Structure 1
C-alpha cells in the first residue's frame, strides 16, 4: 500500500486509454479466473469485491459488519457485473462495469486532487503510476 495523490483526470485518462485499460482488465480477469474457463463465478469475483472493503472500514478504522449484510452487498455488486444475468461474468462484462464504476468515482471526486491509500496492483494505483510515467515522475 502507498499514499498517492489522485484526481479525476488521472482516472479518466486511464480508462480512456483503451490499450492500457484493456491490458489491466485482461490481466486482473485472468488472475481472478481461478479455473481458467473464461468466466468469473460469484466465488471468483468475490475475492475482488472483498478487496474493495466496502463496509469494513469507517474513516480508515476497521469496523465489525454483520456477515449477512456483507454477503448481501457482495451479491448485489455481483449482479451489477453480471449484465446478462447468467450467473457468471465474462471479460466484457467485467471491463464494462469496472469502467462504469471508475468513471463514477472520477465524477464524484471533482477536479481537486485527493490523497488516497492505494493497494499495489489496484486499478487506481495502475492509473496513478501510468500518469506519473507519462509526466516523467517516479511513482
Structure 2
C-alpha cells in the first residue's frame, strides 16, 4: 500500500487513454481468469472480491461479517459485471463495468486532489502511475 495524491482528472485521463486503460484491464482480467477460458466465473470473481476485504474491515480492523451478507454482496457485484446475464463475465463486460466504476469514483472525488491509501496493484494506483509517467516524460 502507498499514500498517493489523486483527483478526478487523473482517473478520467487514464480511462481516456484507451491503450493504457485497456492494457491494465486485460492484464487484470487475465490474472483473474485462472482457468484461461476467456470468461470470469462467479468463483473467479469472488476470489478477487474476497482479497479486497471491503466488508471485513473497518478502518483496518477486522469485523465479523455474516457469511450470507458477504455472499449476497458478492453476488450483487457479479451481476453488475455480467451485463448479458449468462453467468460469466467476458473481457468487454469487465472493461465496461470497471470503466463505469472508475468514472463513478472520479465523479465522487471532484476536482480537488485528495490523499488516499491505495493497494499496489489497484486500478487507482495504475492511474496514478500512468499520470506520473506522463509528467516524467514531459
Provide TM-score, normalisation by structure 2. 0.93
**1:136 maps to what in 2?**
136
Which deviations, in whole Å up to 9, do the C-alpha atoms of 1:32-84 show, x marking residues without a partner? 00000000000111122223333222234332211111110000000000000
Alignment of 1:1-139 (within 5 A): 1-136=1-136
Instruction: Provide the secondary structure at the position in 1 that maps to 2:3.
Output: strand
Structure 2: which 5+ runs fail to align?
none
Count of paired positions = 137
Structure 1: which 5+ runs fail to align?
none
Give how far 1:116 is off: 1.2
Matches of 1:23 and 1:80, distance apart in 2: 22
Provide TM-score, normalisation by structure 1. 0.93
Instruction: Provide the secondary structure at the position in 2 that maps to 1:84.
Output: coil
Matches of 1:58 and 1:7, distance apart in 2: 24
CA RMSD of aligned residues (A): 1.4
